[in-house]
Amino acid sequence: MRMSEFSDKQRLAYCGAMTSDNATPTPAPSASFAAIQQLCAADMAAVDAVIRGELNSDVVLINQIGEHIVRAGGKRLRPLLVVLTARACGAGNIDVATRLAAVVEFIHTATLLHDDVVDESSLRRGRQTANALWGNAASVLVGDFLYSRAFQMMVGVDQMAVMKLLADTTNAIAAGEVLQLLHMGDPDLTESKYLDVIRRKTAILFAAACQLGAMSAGAGLSVQRSMYNYGMALGIAFQIADDVLDYAGDVGQIGKNVGDDLAEGKTTLPLILAQMRASAADVEAIRSAVRNADRLALSNVLDVIRSTDALDASLGRATDYADQATQSLPALARSASFDALEALARYAVQRVS
Amino acid sequence: MRMSEFSDKQRLAYCGAMTSDNATPTPAPSASFAAIQQLCAADMAAVDAVIRGELNSDVVLINQIGEHIVRAGGKRLRPLLVVLTARACGAGNIDVATRLAAVVEFIHTATLLHDDVVDESSLRRGRQTANALWGNAASVLVGDFLYSRAFQMMVGVDQMAVMKLLADTTNAIAAGEVLQLLHMGDPDLTESKYLDVIRRKTAILFAAACQLGAMSAGAGLSVQRSMYNYGMALGIAFQIADDVLDYAGDVGQIGKNVGDDLAEGKTTLPLILAQMRASAADVEAIRSAVRNADRLALSNVLDVIRSTDALDASLGRATDYADQATQSLPALARSASFDALEALARYAVQRVS
């Protein structure tokens, strides 16, 4: 059990100019996301350069939307996972990991662009979405451009195992998105079906990112599989926490509107757990709000969520998955990057409180 | 010059039970598309079986839309090109060509699904489009499913050259579609820019299909390149003829509504050539109709197209590209399949008259 093995070990800091695992780690009470970002600053700057270079096209709108996406930035969690896992696996040369990190970010951005059409949401990461600015057509087509550019970049890396992992991953994501679409307005979504959806639509790309980092470092299949499992559990924890934030956050914090999921008729874990604990009348209020994708019912639904402690219960589940992520990590030599992977698992849940 | 070399050669029939190039060809006055389809019937049945098998998913909506697409069928021109070029290059075992033909059809279908969202058209191949039946969201996501399934199937074929060709092709298609989008409502599109758009959005997949057939048969790079060039010119001829049909056909013939391009503000070759030959007032009528994507102006625009012989002039251009296609064919041993490739070039234009 890795968790108990390392449960009271000294926590490491990722602050300052530490961009290499050779730097001596300094103890700190708890790791922040900003510290992890600083640890990876040099690697992520390299990823950014690849992204900017590969977004280039002779079609001006592609450059414009590309630039919009690059500036929007976001946390770049998935490419961060590629470089962190590569470093944790002892990668000396980070060039391949850097390219694969950009590939993963392109695939993620393509799914965001296509999601925007599906969700018809107008605010993402606190900025107007591409489809609000350029229309559905551009979102669909620039998404396709990014998907196919990602596959071109994989051809450049020239490893069929990479190609297989990401072809399987993008296909699972698409199937997961369709599955989610089928459950729009469906208050009967069970916890197990919900997990099936978020595994496919979100967590699998975290998993692939972590396996890619290991592959790029030349790690064996067993380490690759462990990293994949770490990423899968981490992705589930992140998504559950996101779904909690949809009822708990504010626009400034989550970069989208509170109650968006309800307004789309999306049943997420807070609503599933609230239904398990609420009175018959309150259950019916939730079910009706989901069926009618009724944002106006938000304040009622929030009352039920509060009275049933459904957000805390959801975060409890997220914590379980974060723990599972940590336990899945392969037995590698400690390093700042390895510790950052553990810290990310904590951060997945802590950022909500 | 292949054209003069073979200009009065005996024409071959593709009728009856000829599903192999070993069968003795019978002379016929002109080759019909139905005859070409019969020539390839056995190979195309194998392609169909691969398509049905690979559309399978545990997500029911994907099966439903997949089934809708399979039943819609269409001419399956692109997979037909893969198996024809493979046979023409002497492929004995057609298994890889069959799989690549299905891959090409998946990519084509994915672009159709995404086009439906972009065009917001409701009729394609004479049937309701997927997005009219299931909504934009399903069209986008099932398109993504097909794209990624196509890449999974390529991984199965396990040739990086195939992967590179199709990654480059899908990227060019996406860029071409964005380019077309940028020129919606633009009456100033020049003939050369128009050709640039249709090369990228349509012809390049014809070209890739033909090169894939050659690759699957183990042909050398020179033959592959010739087949690519054949497909590119053929694709341009087909697209120009399609753009003519948009003003000349009826719903039964073309499976979409006459004047759709005008209603989308799309400048195509007939409008470009009409503008070059019309009076100032008539030019302005066309320009205004394109700018306003005005279907109500269709009868006026049709009058100008007729008075300037713009459809015949467009078909003249299409014939030039069909000739170029035939001239591009590599010098291979004559066979029913090789002759079918020549016949397809004639059919590209003849189907309009």
Q: With a cut of 80, say whether residue A291 has pLDDT above it.
A: yes
B57 CB within 8 Å of a chain A CB: yes
A133 CB within 8 Å of a chain B CB: no
A137: CB partners within 8 A, 6+ apart: B117, B118, B181
Test B173 with A144 for CB contact under 8 angstroms.
Answer: yes
C-alpha to C-alpha distance for A46 and A61, rounded to whole angstroms: 24
Q: What is the predicted pLDDT for the residue at A113?
A: 87
- Closest Cα to residue B125, out of B203, B65, B73, B64? B73
Test A148 with B174 for CB contact under 8 angstroms.
Answer: yes
Average pLDDT over residues B186-212: 97
Test A148 with B173 for CB contact under 8 angstroms.
Answer: yes
Q: What amino acid is encoded at B55 in this protein?
A: L
Q: Is residue B302 part of a domain?
A: no
Percent of chain B with pLDDT over 70: 84
A248 to A283, B82, B200: CA distances (angstroms) = 20, 54, 47
Q: Looking at per-residue confidence, does A166 or A74 come out higher?
A: A166
Q: What is the predicted pLDDT for the residue at A340?
A: 97
The full 3-state SS of chain A, as one line of letters, equals: CHHHHHCCCCCECCCCCCCCCCCCCCECCCCCHHHHHHHCHHHHHHHHHHHHHHCCCCCHHHHHHHHHHHHHCCCCHHHHHHHHHHHHCCCCCCHHHHHHHHHHHHHHHHHHHHHHHHHCCCEECCEECHHHHHCHHHHHHHHHHHHHHHHHHHHHHCCHHHHHHHHHHHHHHHHHHHHHHHCCCCCCCCHHHHHHHHHHHHHHHHHHHHHHHHHHCCCCHHHHHHHHHHHHHHHHHHHHHHHHHHHHCCHHHHCCCCCHHHHCCCCCHHHHHHHHHCCHHHHHHHHHHHHCCCHHHHHHHHHHHHHCCHHHHHHHHHHHHHHHHHHHCCCCCCCHHHHHHHHHHHHHHHCCC
The C-alpha torsion from B139 through B144 and B145 to B151, rounded to 10°, is 150
Tokens of B144: 């993504």
Q: With a cut of 50, say whether residue A47 has pLDDT above it.
A: yes
**A182 vs B contacts (CB less than 8 Å):** 59-61
Pairing of strands B123-124, B127-128: antiparallel
At residue B257 the predicted structure's pLDDT band, cuts being 50, 70 and 90, is confident
Residues 151 through 180 of chain B touching chain A, CB cutoff 8 Å: 151-152, 154-155, 158, 160, 163-164, 166-168, 170-171, 173-175, 177-179
Per the DSSP assignment, residues forming a β-bridge with B128 are B123
CB-based contact B305:B277 (threshold 8 Å): no
Distance from CA of B59 to the nearest CA of A (A): 6
CB-based contact A142:A62 (threshold 8 Å): yes
Distance from CA of B349 to the nearest CA of A (A): 29
C-alpha to C-alpha distance for B31 and A211, rounded to whole angstroms: 54
C-alpha to C-alpha distance for B170 and B142, rounded to whole angstroms: 16
Q: What is the predicted pLDDT for the residue at A10?
A: 25
Task: Please name the residue of chain B whose CA is at the shortest distance from the CA of residue A161.
Answer: B155
Q: With a cut of 60, say whether residue B70 has pLDDT above it.
A: yes
- Closest Cα to residue A171, out of B105, B166, B151? B151
Q: Is residue A2 part of a domain?
A: no
Test A59 with B118 for CB contact under 8 angstroms.
Answer: no
Phi, psi of A12 (to 5 degrees): -105, 150
Q: What amino acid is encoded at B292 in this protein?
A: N
Q: What is the predicted pLDDT for the residue at A203?
A: 98
C-alpha to C-alpha distance for B137 and B62, rounded to whole angstroms: 12
Q: What is the predicted pLDDT for the residue at A64?
A: 80
The full 3-state SS of chain B, as one line of letters, equals: CHHHHCCCCCCECCCCCCCCCCCCCCECCCCCHHHHHHHCHHHHHHHHHHHHHHCCCCCHHHHHHHHHHHHHCCCCHHHHHHHHHHHHCCCCCCHHHHHHHHHHHHHHHHHHHHHHHHHCCCEECCEECHHHHHCHHHHHHHHHHHHHHHHHHHHHHCCHHHHHHHHHHHHHHHHHHHHHHHCCCCCCCCHHHHHHHHHHHHHHHHHHHHHHHHHHCCCCHHHHHHHHHHHHHHHHHHHHHHHHHHHHCCHHHHCCCCCHHHHCCCCCHHHHHHHHHCCHHHHHHHHHHHHCCCHHHHHHHHHHHHHCCHHHHHHHHHHHHHHHHHHHCCCCCCCHHHHHHHHHHHHHHHCCC
Per-residue burial over A115-150, b if 16 or more Cβ lie within 10 Å, else e, is bbbbbebebbeebebbbbebebbbbbbbbbbbbbbb
Q: Is residue A95 part of a domain?
A: yes
Per the DSSP assignment, residues forming a β-bridge with B123 are B128
Q: With a cut of 70, say whether residue B58 has pLDDT above it.
A: yes
- Closest Cα to residue A93, out of A41, A164, A20? A20
Q: What is the predicted pLDDT for the residue at A133?
A: 57
Percent of chain A with pLDDT over 90: 67
Q: Is residue A177 part of a domain?
A: yes
Test A160 with B164 for CB contact under 8 angstroms.
Answer: no
Q: With a cut of 60, say whether residue A150 has pLDDT above it.
A: yes
Residues 180 through 209 of chain B touching chain A, CB cutoff 8 Å: 181-182
pLDDT digits (tens, 9 = 90+) for B157-198: 999 999 999 999 999 999 998 888 889 899 999 999 999 999
For CA atoms A334, A336, A341, A347, the dihedral sign is positive
B133 CB within 8 Å of a chain A CB: no
Distance from CA of A56 to the nearest CA of B (A): 11
**A160 vs B contacts (CB less than 8 Å):** 155, 158, 160
C-alpha to C-alpha distance for A193 and A70, rounded to whole angstroms: 34
pLDDT digits (tens, 9 = 90+) for B86-95: 999 999 889 9
Distance from CA of A290 to the nearest CA of B (A): 18
Distance from CA of B141 to the nearest CA of A (A): 6
Mean pLDDT of chain A: 85
Test A144 with B174 for CB contact under 8 angstroms.
Answer: yes
Of A141, A163, A182, the CB nearest to B177: A141
Domains: count for chain B: 1
Distance from CA of B283 to the nearest CA of A (A): 28
Distance from CA of B40 to the nearest CA of A (A): 30
A57 CB within 8 Å of a chain B CB: yes
C-alpha to C-alpha distance for B50 and B273, rounded to whole angstroms: 43
Domain CATH number, residue B195: 1.10.600.10
Mean pLDDT of chain B: 85
Mutation pick from B68, B121, B146, B151 vs chain A, by most beta carbons of A within 10 Å, is: B151
Q: With a cut of 50, say whether residue B6 has pLDDT above it.
A: no
Q: With a cut of 50, say whether residue B55 has pLDDT above it.
A: yes
Distance from CA of A100 to the nearest CA of B (A): 16
The least confident of A37-46, A248-257, A277-286, B22-31 is: B22-31
Average pLDDT over residues B302-325: 97
For CA atoms A333, A336, A342, A345, the dihedral sign is negative
Residue with tokens 């970069």: A255
pLDDT digits (tens, 9 = 90+) for B239-252: 999 999 999 866 55
Q: The whole model's pTM is what?
A: 0.86
Q: With a cut of 80, say whether residue B127 has pLDDT above it.
A: no
pLDDT digits (tens, 9 = 90+) for A167-199: 999 999 999 988 888 898 999 999 999 999 999
**A171 vs B contacts (CB less than 8 Å):** 145, 148-149, 151-152
CB-based contact B32:B15 (threshold 8 Å): no
Q: Is residue B164 part of a domain?
A: yes
Q: Is residue B1 part of a domain?
A: no
C-alpha to C-alpha distance for B164 and B155, rounded to whole angstroms: 11
Q: What is the predicted pLDDT for the residue at B269?
A: 98
Q: What is the predicted pLDDT for the residue at B333?
A: 94
Average pLDDT over residues B44-64: 87
Crossing angle for the helix pair B136-157 and B160-182, to the nearest 10 degrees: 150
Q: With a cut of 80, say whether residue A70 has pLDDT above it.
A: no
CA B143 to chain centre: 18
Q: What is the predicted pLDDT for the residue at B2?
A: 33
A17 CB within 8 Å of a chain B CB: no
Q: What amino acid is encoded at A58 in this protein?
A: D
Per the DSSP assignment, residues forming a β-bridge with A124 are A127
At residue A339 the predicted structure's pLDDT band, cuts being 50, 70 and 90, is very high
Distance from CA of A142 to the nearest CA of B (A): 7
The least confident of A71-75, A222-226, A302-306, B312-316 is: A71-75
At residue A127 the predicted structure's pLDDT band, cuts being 50, 70 and 90, is low
Q: What is the predicted pLDDT for the residue at B21?
A: 41
Q: What amino acid is encoded at A339 in this protein?
A: D
Test A158 with B155 for CB contact under 8 angstroms.
Answer: no
Task: Please name the residue of chain B whose CA is at the shortest distance from the CA of residue A116.
Answer: B137
Q: Is residue A121 part of a domain?
A: yes
Q: Is residue A295 part of a domain?
A: yes
Average pLDDT over residues A275-283: 96
pLDDT digits (tens, 9 = 90+) for A198-236: 999 999 999 999 999 999 999 999 999 999 999 999 999
Q: With a cut of 80, say whether residue A132 has pLDDT above it.
A: no
CB-based contact A109:A71 (threshold 8 Å): no
Average pLDDT over residues A268-293: 96
- Domain range enclosing A188: 12-350
- Closest Cα to residue A238, out of A178, A314, A300? A314
**A166 vs B contacts (CB less than 8 Å):** 151
Q: Left, alpha or beta for A186 (phi > 0: left; psi -120 to 50: alpha)? A: beta
Instruction: Please give the ipTM for the structure prediction.
Output: 0.84
Average pLDDT over residues A252-275: 84
Per the DSSP assignment, residues forming a β-bridge with A193 are none
Mutation pick from B62, B155, B183 vs chain A, by most beta carbons of A within 10 Å, is: B155
Q: With a cut of 60, say whether residue B63 has pLDDT above it.
A: yes
Mutation pick from A115, A145, A162, A182 vs chain B, by most beta carbons of B within 10 Å, is: A145
At residue B12 the predicted structure's pLDDT band, cuts being 50, 70 and 90, is very low
